[in-house]
Chain A
Amino acid sequence: EAGVTQFPSHSVIEKGQTVTLRCDPISGHDNLYWYRRVMGKEIKFLLHFVKESKQDESGMPNNRFLAERTGGTYSTLKVQPAELEDSGVYFCASSQDPISNEQFFGPGTRLTVL
């Protein structure tokens, strides 16, 4: 069974540009999460989808970040316009077990904003 995949693995953009990150969860997983680690900081939650609905977006830093999950399958996270402080590693995770909270993480996308 394929795990959570993320694309691209690395992205280098200039300040002010737009970047879109993609996450493909494990097939059949209704829950999809985005997290990120910025330089020197801890991994922080961004938002949570249940199917195509945003269940919790309390961790989204500002309105430059837009997440979508059309059709309840893959998700995209767009940063527009990107700022220097957005540099970091963005992780996606998915889960399905309604009892446990075991989340399966992707390898992450390393974003560098110059």
Chain B
Amino acid sequence: DAKTTQPPSMDCAEGRAANLPCNHSTISGNEYVYWYRQIHSQGPQYIIHGLKNNETNEMASLIITEDRKSSTLILPHATLRDTAVYYCIASPYGGGNKLVFGAGTILRVKS
């Protein structure tokens, strides 16, 4: 699985967009970019995934560069409940593949 690099921490004002970057310069053609988050004392939670096109769901948007070497997770209107550790994971597509977690980015949403 390709290694991903994320900043260790970020702050965001409540109500503003949170933009979390991720570098995955060695990502292979069959690997998708997945984002999970872990809110304190809970299990990780799936957010979104994508291959090369931008994706949006009810939680977030995912912007992947054309060369697929980096991506950005966007939380359009961050709330205090979005404070969590966010993980960017490159993993082969298809069910049944293990997730390789890195250190992630601690996002602190402040009022």
A residues within 8 Å of B by Cβ?
4, 31, 33, 35, 42-45, 48, 50, 55-56, 59, 91, 93, 95-108
Contact = CB atoms under 8 A, between A and B. Distances in A.
A69 to B, nearest CB: 14
Contacts of B101: 35, 42-44
B43 A33 contact: no
Given A101-B93, A102-B49, A56 B98 contact: yes
Give the size category of B's interface with A: 20 to 34
A50 B44 contact: no
B86 interface: no
A100 B55 CA distance: 14
Given A100-B49, A101-B34, A59 B42 contact: no
Given A91-B43, A105-B43, A108-B43, A98 B98 contact: no
Interface in B5-55: 32, 34, 38, 41-46, 49
A29 B94 CA distance: 14
B100 interface: yes
Interface in B79-104: 91-103
Contacts of B97: 101
A107 B96 contact: no
Given A95-B95, A101-B34, A43 B49 contact: no
A107 B34 contact: no
Smallest CB-CB A-B distances: 3 pairs: A105-B43, A43-B101, A45-B98
A82 to B, nearest CB: 22
Nearest to A47: B98
A95 B91 CA distance: 15
